[in-house]
Every structure is written in structure tokens, then in C-alpha cells.
């Protein structure tokens, strides 16, 4: 998907995020309910009844003595199980090996498969009308135990159009949904089963080649496709929603006047604020108006965010949807970030301050927070803190905290990595090879193994236990 990338240095109101985790991991965010915490936590109640508090440094709520913090210790190195063959698809249009790379990996434990989405940049050939922006995309399924290629599905057919950009979403049953924006101006949505066979293709509506498409698999394995058109002469975006059954039947179609923020857990987040003109050009407005819709395009609630807040699309760590429908929005600041916690019905129930370098991730109906100082990971419900673990060793640069495809938590540091139980933070796997994961742009987790892509266009399987 086309993404807008920001950093704190260039725009302090925006949150730096990992972007490409969207289709490999189930990501998200943080907090604590002040009313459930002791007075030493430093919570206050604002005039509007909204709880406000801080989870910075030593202000974190202490655990009951019976469940005092333990320590995470990484003893084992990652063990390489296999390296797949080079996953390039031979073509006279791909002249340089470096033009072929793995752009996505997804583990499918139920089918004992590992999917690799392969992107190959077509060489610039002006006489043939071929641009560097054109690609040959394919999906390959690898055997979980051996790394051998079991099947390949090529989206480019001989004599057919090339890909400009693609997007994927994966169902638990092994079905892959793949969007392709083709050079002939068509938008196609594919459903491919775990045997590599095409289930169906559907055309998606669009206005021009700059329209943004997001895919999200619903709880019943059906697929929701959201197509965001460019803003009109009034600065208003329009987003079309199309919900397809697993059979390919269109069961719902609607349009919303707003900018698409993201889709998670059968909820659709939109910004209803129109663009504004700054310096003669259209720009995103401050003071975003958050709106939440269900999968049928029905509005659940709206909330006017503070005038300093901008919501950005495709930024998983800026907004977190918990499995019960609760939502946490993270607003970036200069020295601290602010969290807003919403109930499933859209009531703002608290605001929190967290360090700008804290990492947050969803964990079912709760969420986890890693803080470099005091080097701890804590687990919360929307009402209280329920577990905490100290991390052995000094705080480290380079941190990643995410929810894996099977619902566990993966904490990755420069020198260590941990897979943790999302209910109590107990260690499932621990490794002293965190640098391998942090240095991998593409990775996936499944059945106690981590899958990464190397520079040669292969997938590597790493076991997290001896």
C-alpha cells in the first residue's frame, strides 16, 4: 500500500511507526484506568470526569505483593532451521537479481505453510513502454518443515498488465486476499486458497491510480475492501467500502465522506475532518474528528480530538483496537505522548501520558507497555494493571513490541527477544538473538519460529528453542 511516512523530527504531531507490519503482524497500543490504581499512581480527575494520569518512570502502579515482578532472561540463541531457495521468478524483464525481493511473509500454522509475497521490479525499457514503477508480483507457499516451494501464483499473466502496487490480507484458514493495481488502470481483488488455486477475482471501483486500498479479514474469514478516493475541490475524501463473502459474493457496499485511518477487529476508523489549505496547498487538518464504523458502514460514534491532534492512516501504533471494541489513540508530543482510551461505545474514559519511547501493543481485551526506563513490560486491562516483568540488562536502543498472528506478544530488543503469554506475561520462548529480528525488515511468527527475509530473496526459518 502507498504509505505516508513521518518522523518526530519532521512533524512532532505524528508518530513514527513500523508501517509494513500491517499484514504480517496484528499490531497496536497502551494504558491504565486511574480509578483502579493506588493514590501513589498520581492520577487526577478532570472537571469533565475524565480520569487523567501518567505511566512514566517510577509512577507505574505497583503490583500486589503476591505477584511481584519477575525477570525476563534470554539464554538461548536463535537456531537456523532452513533457508529457502531463491524465490525469484525468472523473467527477461528482470535483469538484476537485486530487483527481486521478499516484501511480505505470513505463517499459516493451520496449513503448515509459510507464504512469501515476492516483488520484482521491471527494468526501465522506454521503447517497450515499461516503467520502473511496474512490477511482477507473485505469491509463493513454502513448506513449514523444509522451506521448499509448494506452489506459486503469479499475478502477471503473459501479455497482461503489470502491477503498480499491491496489498495482501490473510485469513486463518490459509486464504490469501490480494489487491492489485494494474498498469491497464484496473483494480482487482483476488482470493487464493491454501492450495494455490484461484477462488475468484473481483473488480474494485476507483477514480484514478492514486486511490488507496486497505484490506481487512473479518472474524468469519470474509474480506472488507476499503477504497479511499482522492479529496475533492472542498478537501473532502470519499471512501467506498465493499464487503465480500468467502464465496466472493458482494454482501455490502457503501460510501463514507471521510479519510480512511485503518481497519482492525471489524471496526473502521475514519477522520471526518476535511483537508485545509496551508501555503496554497491542501494539507491534513489538525483537530481530527474521529469516527468509528462497523463492517456494514454504520457509524458507531464520533469524537472530536484536541486541536493539536492529527490522525494518520496506516500507522498501527497511533491507534489500537482491542478485541472488545475499545480503542486507544496515541497523540505524539515533544517530551511525552498522550493516550486517549475509549470504551466500545465511544465514551472517553481516561487520558494518560507515556514516554515518547514507550512501545505499546494490543493483547486481546488488554494491552502491554514496554518502557526503556525502568526497563519493564507491563500488562493492563482497560481498568487495571495485571502483570509486570523486569527485563534483565540495561535499556537498549531498537525496540519492537507487537502482537503476533496467534495473539501472543513479541518483545524484541537489540540483544534479546521474548514471546510472552498475553494473559500474564509468562515467557513462552526467550532468545538472546534479538539483533537478528530487529535487523530484518520482513518477519513473521508461527509455531515457535520466526521467519525473516534475506537480501538474496530467500526466506529463513529461525527456531526460538534448541
C-alpha torsion angle, residues 418, 357, 8, 15 (rounded to 10): 60
Nearest CA to 185 among 164, 171, 215, 212?
Answer: 164
In three-state secondary structure terms, 36 is helix
Beta bridge partners of 179: 167, 189
Burial status of residue 111 (CB atoms within 10 A of its CB: 0-12, 13-18, 19 or more): middle
Burial status of residue 323 (CB atoms within 10 A of its CB: 0-12, 13-18, 19 or more): middle
Nearest CA to 242 among 232, 255, 233?
Answer: 255
Cα–Cα distance list, 410 to 59, 79, 381 (Å):
25, 17, 18
C-alpha cell at 59: 509512577
Contact predicate 177/201, CB 8 Å: no
pLDDT tens digits in sequence order for the chain, 466 residues long:
333 323 333 333 333 223 223 233 332 222 322 222 222 223 445 545 566 665 543 333 333 333 445 678 777 788 899 999 999 877 767 777 778 889 999 999 999 999 999 999 887 666 566 666 788 899 999 999 999 999 999 998 888 899 998 999 999 999 999 999 999 999 999 999 999 999 999 999 998 777 889 999 998 999 999 999 988 889 999 999 999 999 999 999 999 999 988 888 788 999 999 999 888 888 888 889 999 998 888 999 999 998 888 887 755 568 888 888 899 998 888 888 899 999 999 999 989 888 888 989 998 888 999 988 888 999 999 888 899 999 887 777 778 898 888 889 999 988 888 899 999 999 888 888 888 888 888 888 888 889 999 888 899 999 877 6
In three-state secondary structure terms, 21 is helix
Q: What is the domain class of 20-463 according to CATH?
A: mainly beta
In three-state secondary structure terms, 181 is strand
Q: Which long-range contacts (CB under 8 A, 24 or more apart) does 452-455 make?
A: 452/105, 453/101, 453/102, 453/105, 453/116, 454/83, 455/101
C-alpha torsion angle, residues 278, 283, 289, 291 (rounded to 10): 160
What's the CA gap between 16 and 372, in Å, rounded? Answer: 17
H/E element, 434: helix 434-438
Domain extents for the chain? 20-463
Q: What pLDDT shows up at residue 121?
A: 86
Q: What pLDDT shows up at residue 66?
A: 36
Contact predicate 27/317, CB 8 Å: yes
Look at the pTM and tell me if it is higher than 0.75: yes
Nearest CA to 34 among 343, 387, 383, 386?
Answer: 383
**Residue 32: CB partners within 8 Å, gap ≥ 6?**
41, 53, 55, 61, 350, 352, 380, 384, 385
C-alpha cell at 316: 498501527
Cα–Cα distance list, 450 to 16, 57, 119, 329, 453 (Å):
24, 32, 21, 29, 10
Q: Is the peptide bond before 133 cis (omega within 30 degrees of 0)?
A: no
Contact predicate 267/292, CB 8 Å: yes
Burial status of residue 366 (CB atoms within 10 A of its CB: 0-12, 13-18, 19 or more): buried
What's the CA gap between 282 and 10, in Å, rounded? Answer: 18
Q: What pLDDT shows up at residue 27?
A: 29
Q: What pLDDT shows up at residue 23?
A: 30
Amino acid at each position: 500500500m502507498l504509505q505516508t511516512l513521518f518522523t518526530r523530527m519532521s512533524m512532532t504531531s505524528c508518530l513514527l511507526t513500523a508501517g509494513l507490519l500491517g499484514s504480517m503482524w496484528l499490531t497496536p497500543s497502551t494504558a491504565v484506568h486511574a480509578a483502579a490504581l493506588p493514590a501513589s499512581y498520581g492520577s487526577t480527575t478532570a472537571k469533565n470526569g475524565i480520569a487523567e494520569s501518567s505511566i512514566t518512570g517510577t509512577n507505574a502502579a505497583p503490583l500486589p505483593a503476591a505477584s511481584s515482578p519477575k525477570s525476563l532472561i534470554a539464554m538461548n540463541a536463535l537456531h537456523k532451521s532452513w533457508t529457502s531457495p531463491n524465490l525469484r521468478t525468472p523473467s527477461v524483464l528482470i535483469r538484476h537479481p537485486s530487483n527481486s525481493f521478499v516484501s511480505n511473509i505470513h505463517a499459516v500454522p493451520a496449513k503448515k505453510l509459510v507464504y512469501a509475497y515476492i516483488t520484482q521490479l521491471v527494468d526501465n525499457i522506454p521503447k517497450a513502454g515499461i516503467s520502473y514503477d511496474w512490477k511482477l508480483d507473485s505469491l509463493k507457499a513454502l513448506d513449514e518443515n523444509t522451506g521448499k516451494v509448494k506452489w506459486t501464483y503469479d499475478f502477471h499473466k503473459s501479455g497482461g498488465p503489470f502491477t503498480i502496487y499491491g496489498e495482501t490480507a490473510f485469513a486463518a484458514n490459509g486464504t490469501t486476499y490480494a489487491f492489485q493495481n494494474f498498469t491497464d488502470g484496473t483494480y482487482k481483488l483476488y482470493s487464493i486458497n491454501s492450495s494455490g488455486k484461484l477462488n475468484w477475482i473481483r473488480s474494485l471501483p476507483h477514480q484514478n491510480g492514486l486511490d488507496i486500498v486497505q484490506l481487512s479479514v473479518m472474524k468469519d474469514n470474509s474480506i472488507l475492501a476499503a477504497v479511499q478516493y482522492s479529496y475533492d475541490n472542498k478537501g473532502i475524501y470519499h471512501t467506498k467500502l465493499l464487503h465480500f463473502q468467502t464465496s466472493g459474493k458482494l454482501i455490502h457496499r457503501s460510501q463514507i465522506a471521510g479519510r480512511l485511518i485503518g481497519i482492525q477487529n471489524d471496526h473502521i476508523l475514519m477522520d471526518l475532518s476535511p483537508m485545509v489549505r496551508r501555503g496554497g496547498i491542501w494539507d491534513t487538518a489538525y483537530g481530527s474528528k474521529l469516527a468509528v464504523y462497523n463492517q456494514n458502514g454504520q457509524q458507531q460514534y464520533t469524537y472530536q480530538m484536541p486541536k493539536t491532534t492529527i490522525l494518520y492512516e496506516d500507522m498501527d501504533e497511533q491507534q489500537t483496537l482491542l478485541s472488545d471494541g475499545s480503542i486507544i489513540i496515541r497523540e505524539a508530543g515533544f517530551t511525552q505522548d498522550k493516550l486517549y482510551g475509549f470504551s466500545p461505545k465511544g465514551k472517553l474514559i481516561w487520558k494518560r501520558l507515556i514516554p515518547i519511547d514507550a512501545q505499546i501493543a494490543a493483547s486481546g481485551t488488554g494491552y502491554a507497555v514496554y518502557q526503556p526506563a525502568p526497563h519493564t513490560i507491563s500488562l493492563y486491562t482497560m481498568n487495571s494493571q495485571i502483570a509486570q516483568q523486569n527485563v534483565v540488562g540495561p535499556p537498549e536502543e531498537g525496540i519492537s513490541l507487537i502482537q503476533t498472528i496467534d495473539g501472543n506478544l513479541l518483545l524484541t530488543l537489540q540483544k534479546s527477544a521474548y514471546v510472552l503469554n498475553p494473559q500474564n506475561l509468562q515467557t513462552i520462548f526467550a532468545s538472546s538473538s534479538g539483533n537478528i529480528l530487529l535487523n530484518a525488515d520482513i518477519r513473521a511468527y508461527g509455531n515457535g519460529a520466526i521467519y525473516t527475509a534475506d537480501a538474496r530473496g530467500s526466506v529463513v526459518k529461525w527456531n526460538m528453542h534448541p
